[in-house]
Amino acid sequence: MAVLKWVNKKIPKILKLRRSLFIDREYLSLEQRKELGIKVLECLIMRNTYGKSTIYIIGDSKTTTNNPITHQYTAFFLALVIDLDKEEIVDMGASATLPITNQFIQSMFIGYSMKKGIEPMIEEITHRYHGASQKAMIVAWKDAYKKYHQIKNEDIK
């Protein structure tokens, strides 16, 4: 119960989400609601703290000249924070011009297991992201994935 008070006091932005997780009894059992609430808290804590096993990688690519991203950033970037121990993307950002675009891109990348390889994410981008910078995002993902493998192979040696 102290955790819930802390969430209500310190993080008002997730109040609606927290309420839906703990009140909506039609869809989730009490145990599922608790588990989801814990995952929300873990995500919030992780977003501000990166452990020693995390690395930061940038994947970049060019965008078309008429793309707003080109006017604002000159290129498309994916910034990934990857936990090397879990081989998972724990946080990320993109050079998107709208906050909702960044949130949507984050929903695809955060939690992605690098063990799956490069192709499943390319398929997800192709099927879910239909913005003007879709091809640029795929190229940036390939660039970031290549850098990740270079770092991972250096750590093995």
pLDDT tens per residue across span 45-92: 555 578 889 999 999 886 655 554 444 445 778 999 999 999 999 999
- Average pLDDT (34-40) is 65
Q: pTM for this structure?
A: 0.66
Q: Select the highest-mean-pLDDT range: 59-63, 99-103, 135-139.
A: 135-139
Confidence of residue 153 (pLDDT cuts 50, 70, 90): confident
For residues 8 and 148, what is the distance between their CA atoms, to the nearest angstrom? 38
With 0-12 / 13-18 / 19 or more C-beta atoms within 10 angstroms meaning exposed / middle / buried, residue 63 is buried
**Which residues, including other chains, have CB under 8 Å from residue 69's CB and lie 6 or more apart?**
63, 75, 76, 95, 96, 97, 132, 133, 136
Q: Does residue 43 have a pLDDT over 80?
A: no
Higher pLDDT: 129 or 21? It is 129
- pLDDT above 70 covers a percentage of the chain that reads 59
Looking at residue 143, what is its pLDDT?
94
All structural domains of the chain with their residue ranges = 2-48, 54-156
pLDDT at 121 over 60: yes
pLDDT at 20 over 50: no
Give the pLDDT score at 19.
45
Residue type, 135: K
* pLDDT score recorded for residue 104: 92
Question: In this structure, which CATH number among 2.40.128, 3.40.50, 3.30.390, 1.10.287 belongs to the domain 54-156?
Answer: 3.30.390
| C-alpha closest to that of 82 among 105, 108, 55 | 55
pLDDT at 63: 63
> Using CA atoms, how far apart are residues 103 and 98, in angstroms rounded to an integer?
9
pLDDT at 82: 95
